[in-house]
Amino acid sequence: MRQKYWWLAGIAGLLACLLRPNGIFLFLPFCFEYLRQHHFSWRAIRWDVLYAGLIPVGLLIYGLYCYHHYGDFLAFSHGQQSWKRTTQLPWVGLYRDMEAIIAKHTYLRDFLSHSLDLFPDLLAFFLIGLSAVGFCRLGNRHWSYVLYGASLWIFANCFPAGFERPLLGTGRNMLIIFPLFLILAQLGRFRWIHLLYLSIAVPLCFFWCFQFIVGYPAF
């Protein structure tokens, strides 16, 4: 998009939608970047803006694939019902997860058990905030990253699971919000933040790997 290869960006977005349905959110930074490069002037818009339409085509193709194999165009969405996921406001899952920790009265153990999803979710929320209004904000030229990151975070948190772990799977979903790593890189220029992050991240990495190996929901 920065090099104005709109057709290539559209194809990349199409392929992203084939991989994961939330690839549809690439539509937002595409439109923002296109308008930014055209000075947000409607008169400057040309026919190449139609390449943005390639992005939802990827989701359409996958829906047709689901209909052909399962007889359900939205099988990828309806399949989430087995996890008892419902549509909620983005903070509901966080609230329920913390409520589940407190309800068991074994705070430390359950807090550590839930940390695999809770920590990355809270960290992502914090970093997205910094990218918009913090001292290391990305700036107007990079607002497409902010839009993309915020939309993915909201989407991941709007469908909490109905089990004792409302944020189940949210931690790994934060990894695809790649703009967060740009903020971490900026923060890492401060030595004390760099060392603090490593001192927390390395032990958590080993702890979470252990949780995953033994089956963390039963930790």
Same domain, yes or no, for 79 and 89? no
Q: Give the domain-ending residue among 83, 111, 139.
A: 83
pLDDT of 50 reads 95
pLDDT of 33 reads 93
pLDDT of 207 reads 85
Show the domain range for 41: 1-83
C-beta separation of 186 from 136 below 8 A: yes
pLDDT of 218 reads 45
Same domain, yes or no, for 76 and 162? no
C-beta separation of 37 from 4 below 8 A: yes
Same domain, yes or no, for 7 and 100? no
Q: Tokens 């913090």 sit at which residue?
A: 134
Closest CA relative to residue 12, chosen from 49, 43, 44, 52: 52
Q: Give the domain-ending residue among 64, 83, 102.
A: 83
Same domain, yes or no, for 125 and 154? yes
Same domain, yes or no, for 73 and 113? no
**H runs (alpha helix) in the chain:** 6-19, 27-37, 54-70, 75-78, 92-103, 107-133, 143-157, 170-173, 179-187, 191-214
Count of domains for the chain:
2
Q: Give the domain-ending residue among 50, 83, 116.
A: 83
pTM of the entire structure?
Answer: 0.86
Same domain, yes or no, for 125 and 202? yes
pLDDT of 92 reads 92
DSSP class of residue 164 equals S
> pLDDT 10s per residue in the chain (219 long)?
989 999 999 999 999 999 988 899 999 999 999 999 998 988 889 999 999 999 999 999 999 999 999 999 999 888 888 888 888 999 999 998 888 888 776 667 777 778 888 999 999 999 999 998 877 888 778 889 999 999 999 999 999 987 778 898 898 889 889 889 999 999 999 999 999 999 999 998 888 888 778 876 544
pLDDT of 196 reads 94
Same domain, yes or no, for 72 and 91? no
Same domain, yes or no, for 148 and 197? yes
